[in-house]
Amino acid sequence: MAETQQVLNSSNEGESPEQETSRSRRRRFKASNMSFEEMVETVDILKRADYDGKYGPYLNSNVRKAKIMTKVVKSLCRNFGVRRSKKQLRKCWSDLKLGDVQAVVPKSSHFTSDSAQRMIQEIVFCSRDLDIIKEKTKEIEQRLKNMIDVLGRI
C-alpha cells in the first residue's frame, strides 16, 4: 500500500496544476487579484443576469447561478485571457458586495488601487440605488394600471 501511494505521489509531481480527487479531476487555477476591468466585467454580467435573484423567485437557483458563473468564466477568458474558477469568482462577488476588494489596475492607467476600490464601491452602491428606483417605478406603474382599469369600468 505504501509503495502504491509513493508511486502515485511521484507520478503527479511533474504534471500540470490539476489535482486528482477520488471522484473526478478538477482544475485548479492560481488565485490572483482581479484587474479593475475584470471586476467591472464581472459585476456587469452578474447584475444583468440577476445573480442574486432580486427580481423573482427562480426555480433551481443553484443551477441558474452556476450557468451565470460559467458565462462569467468564459467572458473573462475571452476578453482578458484570464482563467478563473467559479469558486474564485463567487468569493470575489461576495467581497465586491461587502466592499472588501483589492483591485489591481494596469500601470498605464491613472487609477490607484485605492481609487479603483472606491470607484467599485460607488458602482455597487449606485447599482443598489438603481435597483430600488426600478422597484419603485414598477410599483408606480402597477398603481397607474390599476387606476386606469378602475376608470375604464366607470
| Per-residue confidence band for 9, with pLDDT thresholds at 50, 70 and 90 | very low
Q: Is residue 5 part of a domain?
A: no
Q: What does the pLDDT average to over 89-114?
A: 67
Single-letter residue type at 76 = L
For residues 145 and 136, what is the distance between their CA atoms, to the nearest angstrom? Answer: 14
Whether 53 is covered by a domain: the verdict is yes
| 100: containing domain | 31-153
Taken in order 77, 80, 81, 82, the sign of the CA dihedral is negative
Long-range contacts of 89-95 (CB under 8 A, 24+ apart): 89/42, 92/34, 92/39, 92/42, 93/42, 93/43, 93/46, 93/51
pLDDT bucket at 142, cuts 50 / 70 / 90: very high
Q: Between residues 20 and 135, which one has the greater pLDDT?
A: 135
Asked whether residue 145 is assigned to any structural domain, the reply reads: yes
List, for residues 28-55, the tens digit of each pLDDT value: 666 677 888 888 888 888 888 888 888 8
Q: How far apart are CA 70 and CA 72, in angstroms?
A: 5
Write the pLDDT tens digit of every residue in 13-27: 444 444 444 455 666
What is the rounded average pLDDT for all residues in the chain?
76
Residue matched to cell numbers 470575489: 92
User: Is residue 140 situated within a structural domain?
Assistant: yes
The answer to whether residue 1 is domain-embedded is no
User: pTM score > 0.75 for this model?
Assistant: no
Is 17 domain-assigned?
A: no
Identity of the amino acid at 119: M
| 134 pLDDT above the threshold of 50 | yes
- Give me the helix-helix angle, 113-153 and 36-48, nearest 10°: 20
Q: Quick check: is 18 in a domain? A: no
Count, residues in the chain: 154
- Residue 19 within a domain: no
Number of domains in the chain: 1
